[in-house]
Structure 1
Amino acid sequence: MAHRPAALLALTLLAASASALAADWSDTSIGYRYGTHFAEPFNQKDISKSIINLTHASGYKYGSNFFNADLLLADKNDPASVGSNTGSQEVYVVYRHTLDLGKVTGADLKFGPVRGLGLTAGFDINTKDDAGYNSKKRMWVAGPTVMFDVPGFLNLSLLQLWESNAPYNGYSKTSVERYNYDPHPMLNLAWGIPFSIGSLPLSFEGYANFIAAKGKNEFGVGTKPETNIDMQVMYDLSPLVNAQKKTFRVGLEYQYWRNKFGNDHKGAAGKGAFAKTPMIRAEYHF
C-alpha cells in the first residue's frame, strides 16, 4: 500500500526539482503568528503558541510548487514531557506540487468559471515532543485539482491520503510501531484573493480541509471526520515603510478545527479536539 504513493511522490519531486531550475515566478517568506486559544486532544487547557514559518511558492511552465515549514512553540499548558514546565516543540512540513494538465497537453481546458485542471501530489511530515503523544506523522497525498478563474487563485482538490504515525506516550512510557490508518479522502479548498477597502490593499487567504474518517487509530478507537479551516485577512503595509509592494504584511488569522486529528470532540478527547483559535500574523517576503 505504501509503495504506490511513495512512487507517485518520487515522480512529483523529480518534476519539482526540474521546475525549480526554470521558475517563472516565486515568492518566499518568513512569518510569525501567535494565539492564546490553541487546543490539543485530551488536554482541557487553552494553549498559547508562537509559530515561526518559512513558506515558498513558485510557478513554472507546467505547474506550481508550494512548501511550508512551521516551528510551533507552545507554553507549559502543552508540556514537553511529563511534569515539565517547558512547552512542547513541533515541526510540521507541507509540500504540494500541482501539474497543470492544460499546460502539459497544450489543450484549452477552460470552461465556465474554471481556468484549468491539474493533478496535485505531495506530503505532510511532522515531529513533536510532548508529554502525551509525541507525534511522528507521515502522510502522502495525491488527486485531481480544479483551478478557478478568479483574481489571485482558488483551487479545489480531491485528495487521497495515506497517513501513518508512530507515537510515544510519556505517561505510560509505551511506544507504538508505525501504524497505517485506512486510506481516506480529503476535500481541500485553497485560496488567495486580493481585494481592497478604499485605498487599503488587503488579501483574503487560507485553506479548508474536509477530511473523512481514517478507520481505527493505533489504539483501536474509531476516528471521526475532521473539519479544519484556517483563514486570514492580510494588509500590505509595504508602502508605509517605503518597501516594495507585498514585502511586509500583517493581519488577523482564525483557525476552526473540529475533531482534531480524527478525535471525537464529544468523547474522551474533550474540548481539546475542537480548536477555535484567533491569531495575529506578520510576514516578510523576499
Structure 2
Amino acid sequence: MLRPLLPAITLLAGALVTSPANAIDWQDNSLTYTAGNRFTEPANRAPVRKDILEFVHASGYSHGMNLVSIKMLRSDDIDPARDSRHGATEFYIVYRHLLSLGKVFDTALAAGPIRDIALTAGFDWNSKDNAFAPRKRVLLAGPTLRFNVAAPGFFDVSLLIAKEWNHCGLPPCKAPGNEEYIGFDAYPMLHAAWRVPFSLARVPVRFEGFIAHAFRSGEDYTGRPVGEETLMRTALMADVGAAAGSAPNRLFLGLGYELWRNKFGNQGLAGVDTNAPTLHARWHF
C-alpha cells in the first residue's frame, strides 16, 4: 500500500539531509487567529464555534521549499472534550516539501502557463481530546504543477497518493469485528493551492486558499463504506498595515469560508457537510 510513496519520500528525505541549514534563501513566519460559529462535527446536528490559532513557517532554498503549519483548534461545549462539559481541543500539524525538478536537473520545465514541475511529499498529524479521540497520521506524495502568477502569488495543482492511519475511541469501534485502530485504503487526492494578489481601492489584497478532493474508498472502523471527501478553505485578506501607512505585508485582516463535504469520509450522517464563514487576523514576522 505504501509502495507508491516510498520513492518520493526517499528522494525528498535525501534532499533535506544534504541541504545545509544556512542555505535558506527566504523565509516567512506568521501567526493567524481564525474564528467561526458554523463549523460542524460528524454525528452532531448543532453548529460548533471554533477559535483557531495557527503558526505557519514557509522557507525556500536552492532546490525547493518547506511549509510547516501548526494549529490549535478550540471548540465550544457543543463539541465537548471527553467526559467534560468544556469544549474539545485539537492539535493539527502539516508538513510539506516541494522539490523543484527544474532546479534539481538544472533544466527549464516551463511551458505555456506552467512555470515549473515539482515533487511534493509530507505528512499530517493530529490529536483531539474528544470522545472519538482521533490520532490521524497521513503520508502523501506526488507531482505538482506550478503555474505562472505574479509574485508574491502562486497557483499549484498536485496529484497526490495518500495513506492514512487513525484511531476511534468510541465504544462501537471496540466491539468484536470492528477496529479501534485502522489503516485506511491508500487513495489519490487532487489538491490545488493559491494566493492571488491584487489591489482593491488602493489596498493590497490577497485571495488565498486551497481545495482538496480525496478519492477515498474502502471501509471505516465499523465496516461502513468510506465516501469521497472535499475540503475547501479560502479567504480574502487585506493588508491593513499598508493601508494605514505602516509596514506592508505585516498585518492582515480578512473574511473566509470553509466548505467540507463528507467530512473525514463519513456519509449520511449529520454534521458531515460544513458551510462556515470565518474571520481572520494574521501577523507576519
The answer to whether TM tops 0.5 is: yes
Gaps in structure 1 of 5+ consecutive residues: none
Q: Please say if 1:283 is aligned against 2:282.
A: yes
Aligned equivalent of 1:262: 265
- Mapped to 2, the partners of 1:220 and 1:14 lie a distance apart of 39
- Mapped to 2, the partners of 1:245 and 1:13 lie a distance apart of 35
Give the deviation of 1:239 after TM superposition.
2.6
- Mapped to 2, the partners of 1:25 and 1:280 lie a distance apart of 28
Q: Please say if 1:126 is aligned against 2:126.
A: yes
Q: Which amino acid aligns with 2:265?
A: G
Q: Is the 8 A contact 1:120 1:143 kept in 2?
A: yes
Give the deviation of 1:11 after TM superposition.
4.8
Q: Is the 8 A contact 2:141 2:160 kept in 1?
A: yes
1:165-176 superposed matches below 5 A = 165-169=166-170, 174=174, 176=179
Give the deviation of 1:19 after TM superposition.
5.8
TM (normalized to structure 2)?
0.92
Give the deviation of 1:243 after TM superposition.
3.8
Gaps in structure 2 of 5+ consecutive residues: none
Give the deviation of 1:244 after TM superposition.
2.4
- Mapped to 1, the partners of 2:20 and 2:275 lie a distance apart of 38
Aligned equivalent of 1:247: 250
Give the deviation of 1:208 after TM superposition.
0.3
- Mapped to 1, the partners of 2:148 and 2:173 lie a distance apart of 52
Q: Please say if 1:54 is aligned against 2:49.
A: no
Aligned equivalent of 2:154: 153
- Mapped to 1, the partners of 2:188 and 2:79 lie a distance apart of 30
What CA RMSD, in Å, does the superposition of the two structures yield over aligned residues?
A: 1.9
Aligned equivalent of 2:200: 197
- Mapped to 2, the partners of 1:275 and 1:13 lie a distance apart of 36
Give the deviation of 1:35 after TM superposition.
0.2
Match of 1:231 among 220, 229, 234: 234
Q: Is the 8 A contact 2:211 2:233 kept in 1?
A: yes
Give the deviation of 1:9 after TM superposition.
3.7
Summarize deviations over 1:5-28 as a string: whole Å, max 9, x none.
467546534534636431111110
Summarize deviations over 1:39-93 as a string: whole Å, max 9, x none.
01111110000000000111111011111011000000001024x2100000001
Q: Which amino acid aligns with 2:278?
A: M
Q: Please say if 1:66 is aligned against 2:47.
A: no
Note closer, same or farther for the CA distance 1:263–1:55 as it changes in structure 2 (3 Å cut). same
Moved over 3 A (4+): 1-11, 171-177, 240-243
Note closer, same or farther for the CA distance 1:118–1:198 as it changes in structure 2 (3 Å cut). same
Aligned equivalent of 1:43: 44
Give the deviation of 1:226 after TM superposition.
0.9
Q: Which amino acid aligns with 1:42?
A: A
User: What is the aligned length?
Assistant: 279
Percentage of pairs with the same residue: 38
TM (normalized to structure 1)?
0.92
1:180-219 superposed matches below 5 A = 180-219=183-222
Aligned equivalent of 1:94: 94
